[in-house]
Structure 1
Amino acid sequence: MARTGAQAVIEVLLEEGVELIFGYPGGAVLPLYHALADSPIKHILVRHEQSAVHAASGYARASGKVGVCFATSGPGATNLVTGIATAYMDSIPVVIITGQVPTSMVGTDAFQEVDVTGITMPITKHNYLVKNVSDLPRVVKEAFYIARTGRPGPVLIDLPRDVALSPCEAPIPSKIEIRGYKPTYRGHPGQIRALADLLLKAERPIIFVGGGVIASGAEELLLKLAETLQAPVATTLPGLGAFPEDHPLSLGMVGLHGKPYANHAVMECDVLFGIGVRFDDRVTGALDKFAPQAKIAHVDIDPAEIGKNVRVDLPLVGDARTVLADLLPLLKPVKREAWLKRIKELQEEFPLTYGRGGGDVRPQWVIQRLGEMTRGRAIITTDVGQHQMWAALYYGFTRPRSFISSCGLGTMGYGFPAAIGAKLARPEEMVWVITGDGSFQMGMAELGTAMEHNLPIKILLFNNQSLAMVRQLQHFYYEGKYTAVHFHGNPDFVRLVEAYGAVGLRVTRQEEVIPALQEAMQNGRLTLIEFLISEEEMVYPMVPAGAALNEMILPED
């Protein structure tokens, strides 16, 4: 008897090395769950479908593998949309399989029917509605190939229930060839030679790296490049961890809330070498004022990104690791005492400082202590808001795949489910969630998921009873009229986690910070530490709208 379409799907997943799936069942996707029951693949039942994509994303980012999630049709599929968009914006390889009503009912407004391929077309790298069971093994195989090759991204397969139940005799293809889809990995030799010449002749170069360096596994080559050229390295938010921040050549993060000296350095450099970056608006400030003295070289595997946002003097399409491997033999060691001296002057003139805060517990200081106590080597996931920027500025990331956050879309509720995926991907690692009271409430139902699977994740929650990043924007741009940003019905977070059987701690004074962090690190249990902080805290520096990177608002201003 031929296997069913659903069984064929599971066969392909096993061949692709899938070990676990995040999901939430429903009627239309039950054929897949029936087939999954007889496989060795572990299923993680989340408490909300959106968390399934976030957890698969965290798993992919921590492991370097493709994350997988299932959901049913209709509301199950639509609940995935924010998570899919989050993965798409950050180029995360995820394969999503949704159940669908039978093919005879597609387009009839049947119960729990929705055009999920139409809805997700703009936010997936590719998607499929499978109507012929014979296509199913090829489609699933293609989905993994597309998700992980070239510029990674999410791929969705919509699977009607009758197709999943139909006999499937089609074999699993041994090789995938997709007409019109041929990512360019090797850079043009002439452009690489020109790049080498540009870098060797530069007097004030900066290497500017993004998430593409981590996606391609180019971190060791990047380190060699920086040391050979004696060129400082700046990163985007998703690029954190690509270059160790304890290295003398590290500048840290650049941009809207970038480190002050890093922003000034970009404005003074004469060559800016971007690798795997998008040059998005959070990084550049005013485009007409960005890096005014620099020739810009840009390496990216996605040709659509080159020249999209900033002028590029030397474009180079290719994979970061492949291009750097071809570039390094053309270089020779360079000494740049004057430029490195200038960088040191900028670091002294424009240091990263907190400014005045309104409470006894300073969140920046807390994250610095966490960085010291974990030696910058824990896996950190964050939600979105002030805490995300404090983590980026003050933790001190020293290795790749250790910073996991929604960078492009800015999705609140991402951090905790992503931490679940990261912890399952790398169970031997310590995983910390840095979050706020607003963001955590968008994903806190996943406490049940974490407890069910005995995941000793650590949650560092800053509670200022407000949407403080929105409040900060209202402070600077809307005359300080704080509208709809204060929470007057927050739960007791300590008692909440205790209700799930986890450990809850509360910190109200600075002297309690280190003992609480030590307790969480040593107890081997899921632990939430609530830090009560002032709503007056701000993220500095801050580049105002329409300003250049070196026109920052600093604490003393």
Structure 2
Amino acid sequence: MTTLQGTRRLTTSQALVSFLSRQYTERDGVRHRLIEGCFGIFGHGNVAGIGQALLQQPEDLAYYQSRNEQAMVHAAVAFARTRRRLSTLACTASVGPGATNMVTGAALATINRLPVLLLPGDTFAGRAASPLLQELELPYAGDLTVNDVFRPVSRFFDRVWRPEQLLSSAVQAMRVLTDPAETGAVTLALPQDVQAEAWDFPEEFFERRVWHVRRPAPEEHALAAAVRLLRRAERPLIVAGGGVIHSDATEALARFAAATGIPVAVTQAGKAALAHGHPAAVGAIGHTGSPAANTLAREADVVLGIGTRWQDFTTASRTLFADPDVRFLNLNIASFDAAKQSGLMLQADARAGIEALDHALAGHTVPDHRRARASALVRRWDQEVDAAFSRTNTPLPAQSEILGAVREAMGDRDVVLCAAGSIPGDLHKLWRPSDPLGYHVEYGYSCMGYEIAGGLGVKMAAPDRQSVVLVGDGSYLMMAQEIATAVAENLKLVIVLVENRGYASIGALSASLGSERFGTQYRYRDAGSGQHDGGVLPVDLAANAASLGADVIRASGIDAFREAFATALAGERTTVVHIETDPLAASPSSDAWWDVPVAEVSTLTSTTSARRTYEKEKATQRPYLRPAD
């Protein structure tokens, strides 16, 4: 209700919910609502504040009930990625463990440069009743709370000690959420007494705000230097990252690559930046990449990175780009990323930068023999992928067979989603993308438990697309609760639950490092050995999925899996297809290294042998410090 002219008397929570409902983004003349809803799990720290405001003002902000605080952040992040960072969701949790459960999700959002708004409850600003239930007491600092752990994993953090502080804090939060170079997790910690406190908020605070998402063009001098570098390159290579997809630059990249003939390799985040079958597409790069892309990377004399942050998987821990005179050119909207690898900085929006390069390089192409070499390498790799997809006559199918069956049955606009374990590496190597939003693998944080929650976020953001979640038994056991949320919201997910009785990815890594798959299988502790190498545990994950409300189909063998997956796609409810696979059936090798240190001294023969291999590979590592121009 209004008590003073030009003001509205509301609680801090009511004012925040009303403010969030009036925030919009705009890019290329198209407007989007910035905060489309709010996930929430309520406790004493937020039920009478944010909870009351959401109840009272449902027309302002839709409320979604989650089952796990970390999971709701993952869902919001997946939502934001699917919307190309132009829209996101808010997440609220109670003070204490509810709030700190969101920290992992915050880290994932910030590492992946994806916007999400976190509204954790906090302890009382007024300290009349201290110490409170779930309050952290530190003898040396009375103003610190558990929510201060959000600081290093947030791109913006503030604690709203007074209602009037919301006026500036909320605006700054929106600024960061909508900044393509600075975005990530944004945290507004809300003391529970302040949430419920009323104040006369000025009407101007609630006016519609449209945040323009900029597309800065490259600076003229930097563009000229970039063009010189590319024109004199004999063996150029493009490495396309997630920034290409976030900035809606995939069509511009396709035109540029076709015109110049420069081969395009893709990172995990940029996997769908160029459709499979494009003449310049050479596949995934790095430790989980294809031999085709990695061979071209070793030969490259100039590498144009577009929208990539040069993660160690992409560079094979800085061993992949082997030409002694290799130079890097980085097209990135963030100067922090544009400066990596000592590259020539072309700081700009990915689409604007690609279009500027395309115009400036008009008529320039790579020699025909380089196009032919790239095509030959891709053809050879495609044959290996076909073989991996069709491996037959084994009691348990290989994981690669499952991926082949899934890809064959999925529509071009369906979205495959994964995050951790061995499946993301196989997807990066083997998957054949056709749509920029059809490949959704979270590999910046590679967070076990992201998968099902992320699939929910994708479906919320794009209800016209089928969300297909691939999850291993290890990740499933970490976080499967959002199956219940999908059921409650009538949002259909298709979940492929791959069971191999342990941690397949780390098991294989452990074996390669001389640690003999220690602690990576789901087994009883054996009384004789004292280790977990007894019988297989009688865990029934399919029954667990059914208990959460999903339809469940148990498949045995690849033919039964194909039939079950087709049934799940055609159905109307969230369906889990359970399939056991062979954990020792490896997919084709990428022929690229990853730096994971091995014990320097050991009494185990397996470890000493692995150490020799490690030292040999370590010797090829390079700092990439030579300036590009």
State the partner residue of 2:255. 224
Given that residues 200 and 229 in structure 1 are in contact (C-alpha distance below 8 angstroms), is that contact kept between their aligned partners in structure 2?
Answer: no
TM-score for the superposition, normalised by structure 2 = 0.81
Shift of 1:521: 0.9
Partner residue in 1 for 2:236: 205
Show the counterpart of 1:79.
Answer: 101
Q: Residue 110 of structure 2 contacts residue 155 of structure 2 at CA under 8 Å; is this kept in 1? A: yes
2:45 corresponds in structure 1 to 28
Distance 2:336 2:507 in 1: 35
CA distance in 2, matches of 1:19, 1:288: 43
Q: Which residue does 2:504 correspond to in 1?
A: 468
Distance (Å, rounded) in 2 between the aligned partners of 1:106 and 1:432: 51
Displacement of 1:85 in angstroms is: 0.7
Deviation for aligned residue 1:526: 0.8
Matches within 5 A, 1:344-359: 344-348=375-379, 352-353=384-385, 359=395
1:12 aligns with 2:19: yes
Aligned position for 2:112:
90
TM-score using structure 1 length: 0.91
Residue pairs, 1:230-309, within 5 angstroms = 230-287=261-318, 290-292=321-323, 293-308=325-340
Question: Structure 1 stretches of 5 or more lacking a match?
Answer: 552-557
Q: Does 1:544 align with 2:593?
A: yes
Change (3 A) 1:109 1:271: farther
Kindly provide the amino acid, as one letter, of the partner of residue 456 in structure 1: K
**Alpha-carbon spacing, 1:347–1:218, altered in 2? closer, same or farther (3 Å):** closer
Amino acid across the alignment from 1:520: A
Alpha-carbon distance in structure 2 between the residues aligned to 1:187 and 1:108 = 54
Q: Identify the residue that residue 569 of structure 2 maps to in structure 1.
A: 521
Q: How much has 1:162 moved relative to structure 2?
A: 2.3
| CA-CA distance at 1:505 after TM superposition | 1.3
Residue-by-residue CA offset, 1:278-333 (whole Å, 9 max, x unaligned)? 1121111242652425321012222122344x232x21222212322333321213
Q: Aligned residue for 1:532? A: 580
The aligned counterpart of 2:77 is 57
Q: Equivalent residue of 1:444, what SS?
A: coil
Q: Which runs of 5+ in 2 are unaligned?
A: 4-8, 24-32, 137-144, 524-535, 596-615, 621-629
Amino acid at match of 1:39: P
Does residue 123 of structure 2 align to residue 105 of structure 1? no
Q: CA shift at 1:495, angstroms?
A: 2.5
Question: 2:18·2:206 contact (CA, 8 Å) conserved in 1?
Answer: no
Whole-angstrom distance in 2 between the partners of 1:413 and 1:97: 21
- Give the residue type in structure 1 aligned to 2:14: Q
Task: For residues 473-492 of structure 1, give each alpha carbon's deviation from its aligned partner in whole angstroms, at most 9, with x where no partner exists.
Answer: 11111252433433543632
Partners in 1 of 2:279 and 2:466 — Cα distance?
Answer: 26
Match of 2:88 among 60, 63, 66: 66
Asked if structure 2 preserves the Cα contact closer than 8 Å seen for 1:391 and 1:434, the reply is: no
Correspondent of 1:386 among 422, 435, 441: 422
Equivalent residue number for residue 554 of structure 1: none
2:164 is the alignment partner of 1:134: yes
Cα deviation code 1:78-107 (max 9, x no counterpart): 100111111111111101111112202399
Q: CA deviation at 1:459?
A: 0.4
Pairs within 5 Å for 1:152-551: 152-171=183-202, 172=205, 185-287=216-318, 290-292=321-323, 293-308=325-340, 310-312=341-343, 314-335=344-365, 336-348=367-379, 352-353=384-385, 359-487=395-523, 488-489=536-537, 491-542=539-590, 543-545=592-594
- Distance in 2, matches of 1:107 and 1:396, equals 59
Q: Report if the CA contact (8 A) 1:389-1:539 is conserved.
A: no
- Residue equivalent to 2:531: none
SS in 2 for 1:416: helix
| Residues 1:9 and 1:503: Cα distance change in structure 2 (over 3 Å) | same
Report the alpha carbon displacement of residue 516 of structure 1 after superposing the two structures with TM.
1.5
2:608 match: none
Letter in 1 for 2:504: A
* SS at structure 2 position matched to 1:287: coil
Structure 1 residues 427-474: Cα deviation after superposition (integer angstroms, max 9, x where no partner) = 111000011011011111222111111121000111111101111011
Aligned to 1:555: none
Segment drifting more, 186-195 vs 251-260: 186-195
2: CA distance, partners of 1:108 / 1:231 = 64
> What secondary structure is seen at the aligned counterpart in 1 of 2:222?
helix
Q: Displacement of 1:395 after TM fit?
A: 2.6
Structure 2 CA distance for aligned equivalents of residues 248 and 359 of structure 1: 38
Q: Which residue is 1:39 aligned to?
A: 58
Q: CA deviation at 1:164?
A: 1.7
Asked if 2 retains the 8 angstrom alpha-carbon contact of 1:22 and 1:55, the reply is no
> Does the 8 Å contact 2:41/2:67 carry over to 1?
yes
Cα pair 2:253 2:274 within 8 Å, conserved:
yes
Task: Give the Cα–Cα distance (whole angstroms) in 2 for the partners of residues 187 and 447 of structure 1.
Answer: 45
> 2-side partners of 1:210 and 1:548: how far apart?
26
Q: How far is the alpha carbon of 1:237 from its aligned partner?
A: 0.6
**Which amino acid in 2 is paired with 1:25?**
F
Q: CA RMSD in A?
A: 2.7
Which deviates more from structure 2 when the two are superposed, residues 246-255 or residues 419-428?
246-255
**Which is greater in Rg?**
2
Question: Partners in 1 of 2:594 and 2:436 — Cα distance?
Answer: 31
Deviation at 1:338, TM superposition (A): 0.9
| Mean Cα deviation higher: 112-121 or 153-162 | 112-121
Q: Is the 8 A contact 1:508 1:531 kept in 2?
A: yes
- Residues of 2 paired with 1:397 and 1:116: CA distance? 42
